[in-house]
Amino acid sequence: MPVVKPNPPSLSRQRKAALRDYVTALAWRPDGEAILVGTADGKLTLLGPNADELWSENAHDGGVLSVAWNHDGNEFASGGQDGKVKIRRSTGKSVAELDAGGPWVDQLEYNPTGILASAAGRTLRIWEGVESQELERLKSSCTGLGWNPADPTRLAAASYGGVKHYKIGRMEPDREFPWKGSLLSLYWSPDGRHIACGCQDQSVHVWVTESGEDMEMTGYESKVKALSWSCTGRFLATSGAAAACVWDFGGSGPKGTTPITLEGHKQAIAALSFQNRGGLLATTDESGALFVWDISKPKKPISTTAMQGEAICVEWSPDDSQLAAGDAQGNLSLWQTEPKAPIPASPRGRGGST
């Protein structure tokens, strides 16, 4: 008797918006019905679900470096090379212009209560409306910033020398995670148990937040900046070569194991992103190739396509039904994803080192 097999998840129905310059930042509105795009010419554009332009504004002198939505989707913040944080309504209406205290603003993040954190060079500020609290000044530029998903009163900031951990209401860090090297990015696991950082010295460093225990993953071909956690916090995907490496933090963790290796890209990985609720991973490389993987079947991608240039901005919509990517040629592409993939549970290899 014939057996009917379900179709594998795939990308379909590409829609594209041609913007004027290099796509530098993007973020889906929390309802998934629009996506905010920042470009190197300082412009902000809000696109609808069919890549139709809803509005566009010249927002910053110089490029847009970061964008972030408030939890309710009614307001967003953008940071630029002019050292300003601009607050706007979803309609594009300007609300406030804030001085972030440094020459550029490349780190912004709201917590679930609507408090905004900004990093501009060595200056960290926490904003409640237009009122700010400046945290202890870092010794070098902030390269990663994030609120603890399990405790929205706590903020972590990465820079040369390690990660500092702050609590709302205190200027000085209450904890520090030292590392004698240059950290390039910071990503909390969804459960708040781990902080992962990509490093200039061709490694990845991960701390267990409760105990302070640290782990180092080495052997990468180049510096590591792009990281992404799976929605359960079990898997951490990393760049640093033409192949993406995925570490398994389930059970006793990745110590003493080898990562899942996703091979197929011809050039170095530029960006990667796990789904918010499902188990698919999107990766792009410096040539603009975009692959989607089911990491429980890592031998080949389940879907492949291409951008017109390098894409360093790749994001799934909140419900994972769409994938957005912006490239160096100023194109924002949207794909429909059908059907959704289950959260993976894959075997782990042994014999590697961390």
Mean pLDDT, to the nearest integer, of 316-329? Answer: 95
Cα gap 259→175, rounded to integer Å: 30
- The pLDDT value given to residue 10: 65
Say how far residue 82 (Cα) sits from the centre of its chain. Answer: 22
Q: What is the pTM of this model?
A: 0.92
Domains and CATH numbers, the chain: 228-354 (2.130.10.10)
Give the whole-angstrom CA distance, residue 77 versus residue 95. Answer: 10
Nearest CA to 58 out of 27, 20, 26, 32 is that of 20
> In whole angstroms, what is the distance from residue 319 CA to residue 64 CA?
26
Residue 341 pLDDT greater than 90, yes or no: no
Q: Which residues contact 71 (CB under 8 A, 6 or more apart)?
A: 30, 110, 112, 113, 114
pLDDT at 343: 58
Compute the distance between CA of residue 11 and CA of residue 281 in angstroms, rounded to an integer. Answer: 12
Average predicted confidence (pLDDT) for the chain: 91
Residue 338 is predicted with a pLDDT of 67
Q: Which residue has the higher pLDDT, 253 or 176?
A: 176
Paired tokens of 233: 């916090």
What average pLDDT does this structure show over 84-90?
97
Cα 18 to Cα 52, 53, 131, 328: the distances in Å are 10, 10, 37, 11
Q: CB atoms < 10 A from the CB of 265, how many? A: 22
* CA-only gyration radius of the chain, Å: 20
